[in-house]
Amino acid sequence: MILEGKRLLITGVMTRQSIAYAVADQAQQQGAEVVLTSFGRARRMTERAAGGLPDTADVLELDVNKPEDFAALADELGSRWGALDGVLHAIAFAPEDAIGGGFLDTPPESAVQAFTTSAYSLKELAVSLAPLFDKAEGGSVVGLDFDASVAWPVYDWMGVAKAALESVARYLARDLGPRGVRVNLVSAGPIETAAAGGIPGFDQLAAGWQGRAPLGWDASDPSSVAGTVCYLMSDLARGVTGEIIHVDGGYHAMGAPLS
């Protein structure tokens, strides 16, 4: 089991369809201890999902727009485990006026909110947990991404936030590498999750993926994405940092739909 004895924090679990849920499930099967985060009204949904894992996971409070939550989370994990081996950042949000096709009309405060929640939070999370990684003599930070090298229909300022996320990950890899902390992203193909349901045009995007991905793509199956996250959390990836691994059936590498 590649994660035997690892202590992992998984954010972003809302339902059993979440990519983060699939990560937590596979991580436990690979021997890891797992704790989840959630906040507000979504916390009950996360707690219900946590009950479906092989071992029911505890859910701790984390609203990434509340600085005090980061300190409280680090204190709780320090009391619980003393150290931490890995964290999954699976957090993204953009206001309604920042996605959906109105890119040119989005007000600055909505663009800033998308950036702060979806990209800057990766830095805040990694820095707040860094002392726990120090006690583990290294660790792994993995974030969920959606290819930001191109413009997508209706993705708008969330796409800009993902581009920022990719840059934040590289700078974190630079600054945390000397402490033995690896920082990588997994750029996933479209997966049918509760969050995806809030993106206008998602169904059309997912439907077109199959015709361009040489390996094919099942938008209802997050297991391949979860497997790559677990690999990056493991010691097998001990020499990998600052990387963006595409798990999208090969879609990103094709210049046109397949015949």
Domain that holds residue 171: 7-248
What Rg value do the Cα atoms of the chain yield, rounded?
17
Q: How many domains does the chain have?
A: 1
Whether 178 is in a domain gets the answer yes
Non-local CB neighbours of 37 within 8 Å, separated by 6+ positions: 9, 10, 11, 12, 46, 59, 60, 61, 62, 73
Whether 243 is in a domain gets the answer yes
Give the start-end residues of each E strand in the chain.
7-10, 33-38, 59-61, 86-89, 139-145, 181-188, 244-247
Non-local CB neighbours of 96 within 8 Å, separated by 6+ positions: none
* Contact assessment for residue 114 and residue 95, using Cβ atoms and an 8 Å cutoff: yes
Whether 43 is in a domain gets the answer yes
Whether 256 is in a domain gets the answer no
Q: How far apart, in whole angstroms, are the C-alpha atoms of residue 19 and residue 7?
A: 19
Q: How far apart, in whole angstroms, are the C-alpha atoms of residue 60 and residue 133?
A: 18
Whether 144 is in a domain gets the answer yes
* Contact assessment for residue 187 and residue 244, using Cβ atoms and an 8 Å cutoff: yes
The CATH number of the domain where 225 resides is what?
Answer: 3.40.50.720
Of 162, 171, 231, 251, which is the active-site residue? 162
In tens digits, the chain (259 residues) has pLDDT values of 999 999 999 999 999 999 999 999 999 999 999 999 999 999 999 999 999 999 999 999 999 999 999 999 999 999 999 999 999 999 999 999 999 999 999 999 999 999 999 999 999 999 999 999 999 999 999 999 999 999 999 999 999 999 999 999 999 999 999 999 999 999 999 999 877 766 777 787 788 898 899 999 999 999 999 999 999 999 999 999 999 999 999 999 999 999 7
What DSSP line would sit under 9-67, residue for residue? EE----STTSHHHHHHHHHHHTT-EEEEEE-TTHHHHHHHHHTTSSSPPPEEE--TT-H
Of 6, 21, 155, 251, which is the active-site residue? 155
Whether 2 is in a domain gets the answer no
Whether 160 is in a domain gets the answer yes
Whether 104 is in a domain gets the answer yes
Non-local CB neighbours of 66 within 8 Å, separated by 6+ positions: none
Non-local CB neighbours of 203 within 8 Å, separated by 6+ positions: none
- Please indicate whether residue 155 is annotated as part of the active site: yes
pLDDT at 66: 98
Question: pTM here?
Answer: 0.97
- Please indicate whether residue 66 is annotated as part of the active site: no
